[in-house]
Amino acid sequence: MFSKSVLLFCCVCAAAAPVVTKVEPPNWWVHHTLNPVQILIRGTGLNGATVRAGNCLGVRNVRANERGTYLFADISIGKSCTPGDYPLTITTSSGTAAAPFRLEQPLASDGRFQGFSPDDVIYLIMPDRFANGDRSNDDPEISKGLFDPSGPRSYHGGDLQGIIDRLPYLKSLGITAIWITPVYDNANKGNADYHGYGAVDYYGMEEHFGTLETLKKLVDQAHAIGLKVIQDQVANHVGPAHPWVKDPPNPTWFHGTAVRHTNETWQIWNLQDAHSTDELKHKVTDGWFANILPDMNQEDPDVARYEIQNALWWVGVAGFDGIRQDTLPYVPRAFWHDWSAAIHKQYPNLRMVGEVFDGDPAIPSYFQGGAIRDGVDSGVDSVFDFPTYFAIRDVFARGKDIDTLAKVLAKDRLYPNASALVPFLGNHDVMRFMSEPGATVAGLKLAFTYLLTTRGTPEIYYGDEIGMTGGEDPDNRHDFPPGDHADNDIFRYVQKLLRLRAQLEPLRRGKLTSLAVDTKSWVYAREGVLVALNNSEQPADIDIQFADGDYAPQLGTGETLQVKGGKASIHLAARSAEIFNKVSARN
């Protein structure tokens, strides 16, 4: 008979055998530009482990964390490798375990990884609030109780299949690209992170939205009808329920811990201020977002490598065309340089746009790639045009002078590439336009006219095209109503603008030149196309100087504008706009 001490010893020995619970990434590709790939294995009993890979794979730099719960290994993929399963063997003095790993054939690049440009119009969708296409994932067993269509911060049932079902609607509206908020797996209990920004598994799909196969189906079917898909990625932070928070892969995985960390100051202007101290800057890049979201430490080479690989993995698996990167300024510029370089190396046409939530053009311009700031070019193709957003709200909802917008445009010189900006009039973080004090349908139409005729790649928040209302978060995230909305006046107006934008190349790529601007009206040209805006409650007659010719109205005034001797006068009704396209020259 065994004594209690012997039994305890045997139990400890058995528990010490290696156990593998997760492999990240679970697969990679043959002939990929990132090689070797670093594997992060989660489990128990991994102290002192060796990793063996058969056939054409090589293994080096194997190391476990102190607790034996994570194991790092670099896996090199030989040129002779072909797609298939390549399980890894994990061996310690107490036993062995298998770690699944697979090599894939890269997706064909034709029709994928396309990027986006001023030829596109982006439509922002929160999957949970757009359309419910699969009732079976409304209240999954693994996360039961988070579904409540009446709860403002609960899951409402929207999913990826719902977006697939509504692709014809998006096509009929005239948009060319959709941006979907994050699909990472979020917490299964506690807070319902329906928005997707609190990841608990960077390689997992949120079960309320569907499966990875559904995501691939969405991207493929969007591509089939000429729509691009942009993935929302979050490198800055994870959710507080991520397993890493209690058991990080290494001691420097995060900036601080749940018990002791810096609170985010939001002062992103400090990062480009020559007068700021390093301490002030670190409070921005190292703080926990909202004091609760664990801040990833990209200065740690393992973290940086993990996040670069993760970005490449999602793009490679689904075939995305672009990346929207959340909270861009809160991550060091050196990381963005390496991140964007790795993505562009594998997918040269893919484009990324970063969120820089500030109304001063000097701030977002600092983060756009194409210029060296503080010795580093971020390489990030574009940033959201928050200065234009704030000005649009001020002018067309709150009644401020229209030259407020012209003054924002005058600061385009600060950007490495202003034509690559993504202007917008609303998104998921701000009050709906139609809920602004003073907002009217006429004002919204004017806002859309400017948005869809100014430089850059415009973005439309779901529901703004039908005048949805909503206050601050989460009231701005109401469920999108069913129907085709073809009889909605705002929808028809936006649809007409989008058709004009598609038909008239100058509205997308033409040089923008101001011809006349005062406190209530503004006329500008996009090469041979004229855009006239009157934000006054009174009719306006606006004198301009422009190239002689006849210019046909595109929005419905019915009167051709004749420019003779380089001069003309444009008449606009109160709070209205017109677009004129040159139809003939005049002698």
pLDDT digits (tens, 9 = 90+) for 191-241: 899 999 999 999 999 999 999 999 999 999 999 999 999 999 999 999 999
Between residues 556 and 316, which one has the greater pLDDT?
316
Question: d(Cα 178, Cα 125) in Å, to the nearest integer?
Answer: 7
Question: d(Cα 191, Cα 340) in Å, to the nearest integer?
Answer: 32
How is the chain split among helix, strand and coil, in percent rounded to 5?
30, 25, 45
CB 51 within 8 A of CB 101: no
CB 208 within 8 A of CB 137: yes
**188 pLDDT more than 60:** yes
pLDDT digits (tens, 9 = 90+) for 498-527: 999 999 999 999 999 999 999 999 999 999
Equal CATH topology for 15-104 and 512-584: yes
- Indicate the Cα dihedral angle 546, 552, 553, 559, nearest 10°: 100
**5 pLDDT more than 50:** no
**350 pLDDT more than 70:** yes
CB 311 within 8 A of CB 323: yes
CB 563 within 8 A of CB 582: no
pLDDT digits (tens, 9 = 90+) for 84-113: 999 999 999 999 999 999 999 999 999 999
Question: d(Cα 146, Cα 139) in Å, to the nearest integer?
Answer: 7
**10 pLDDT more than 50:** no
Question: d(Cα 418, Cα 214) in Å, to the nearest integer?
Answer: 36
pLDDT digits (tens, 9 = 90+) for 21-66: 999 999 999 999 999 999 999 999 999 999 999 889 999 999 999 9
Please give the structure tokens belonging to residue 345.
């190396």
List of residues 6+ apart from 477 with CB closer than 8 A? 126, 129, 152, 195, 428, 470
- Give the pLDDT confidence score for residue 158 in this predicted structure: 98
Q: Which fold has domain 122-135+163-509?
A: TIM Barrel (3.20.20)
Per CATH, the number for 15-104 is 2.60.40.10
pLDDT digits (tens, 9 = 90+) for 353-374: 999 999 999 999 999 999 999 9
Look up the pTM and report it: 0.96
Query: Looking at the domain covering 512-584, what would its CATH class be?
Result: mainly beta
**pLDDT band at residue 16 using 50, 70 and 90 as cut-offs:** confident
State the DSSP H helix or E strand holding residue 44, giving kind and residue range, or none if neither: strand 37-44
Question: How many Cβ atoms sit within 10 Å of the Cβ of residue 475?
Answer: 13
Angle CA 446–448–451, to nearest 5: 110
Domain limits, the chain: 15-104, 122-135+163-509, 512-584
Question: What is the DSSP code string of 206-268?
Answer: -TTT--HHHHHHHHHHHHHTT-EEEEEE--SB--TT-HHHHS-SSTTSBSS-SSS-PBP---G
- Give the pLDDT confidence score for residue 11 in this predicted structure: 44
Handedness of CA 471, 423, 441, 128 (dihedral sign): negative
Question: d(Cα 569, Cα 562) in Å, to the nearest integer?
Answer: 9
What does the mean pLDDT of the chain come to?
96
Give mean pLDDT, residues 300-317: 98
Give mean pLDDT, residues 308-323: 98
